[in-house]
Amino acid sequence: MSEFAWPWVALVLPLPWLLRLALRAAGIGQAMRLPYPGLQLASAHMQLPQRGRMVLFALAWICLVIAAMRPQWIGPPQAQQHSGRAMMLAVDLSGSMRTDDMKLAGRPVSRFGAVEAIAGDFISRRSGDELGLVLFGSNAFLVTPLTYDLDAVRAQLEGARVGLAGTETAIGDAIAVATKRLAALPEQARVLVLLTDGVNNAGSIAPIEAARAAKAVGVRVYTIGIGATQMSVPDFFGSRVINPSADLDEDMLRSIADGTGGRYFRATDTSALADAYRAIDALEPMPQQGPSLRPRHERFRWPLFAALLLGILAVLPRLLSPPRAPA
């Protein structure tokens, strides 16, 4: 089956003929006055080569217009099968995510550096899932709507920076933003993975209230609390060991997960963080019937090539003809 993507371009087809009528020069008898009455000039008929060139130019214009209309060949409908879920990832970008209490391949990295590496691998393995990304700090922002383009989601995560959304933590707002996007999907497909290292201290919605709203529309929230339990810091007497995750509100995260049918994971190092993502990855996928797509193949190159060839044939004789000698 063939059709034109831009059929309205055909309206410009008579444009050269309309311009010729509008700009036609005055006839010879009107432009010149002859001194002798009765004397007339014979009208010169268009020579055959000139008429042939005009025909070639007309055909070239028609082919050019057809090419501009974008002829396409459309194949039969093909159903797109997707096996997976619609999942939103909510990642904390508050200032505390800069804390270097995680290790990756034996090297110390920040909490966000560990998330970027582990979650990036998790995203790559979500083939068949629709994924979206919410980043939150003092405010929560939908960065990537639900999409099957996993590369786009991973690129947005890799391009994020700690503090980009503010230095505080608006956990409730992040849940609300993700829930709004998931609410319109089939109930079995609504999954939110929320990762944070602190306590809710910003935003306009309390986390528990946001969790109730998520539960009301069937969104399962999986929460991950990230941060080591011990860390050596410089001290006046050398160094001392502190708990860098003292502010992590585990009770709140556990309550959110349990109240929505999800699970809470504690990631004290990169290995535990990877285990958390693997556990979420093991959720039973839900087969989904994607929209039917019809393959489209552009065919504008053929009339465009024909227009170019006809134009060359029209001007070639004039270019090759010897110059006329002056009278």
pLDDT in the model for residue 211: 94
Number of residues written out for the chain: 327
Structure token pair of residue 296 = 């489209």
Q: If you average pLDDT over every residue of the chain, what do you get?
A: 81
How far is Cα 294 from Cα 299, in angstroms, rounded to an integer?
16
**C-alpha to C-alpha distances, 273 to 84, 96, 241, nearest whole angstrom:** 22, 17, 22
Query: What are the residues whose beta carbons fall under 8 Å from the beta carbon of 7, sequence distance 6 or more?
Result: 69
pLDDT (tens digit per residue) in 102-160? 877 778 888 888 888 888 888 887 777 788 999 999 999 999 998 888 889 999 998 88
pLDDT (tens digit per residue) in 198-254? 889 888 999 999 999 999 999 999 999 988 887 776 776 667 777 878 888 899 999
Share of the chain above pLDDT 90, in %: 22
B/e letters for 282-313, b = 16+ CB within 10 Å, e = fewer, are ebebbebeeeeeeeeeebbeebeebbeebbee
pLDDT in the model for residue 74: 81
pLDDT in the model for residue 45: 46
Least confident of 110-124, 258-272, 313-327: 313-327
In angstroms, what is the C-alpha Rg of the chain? 35
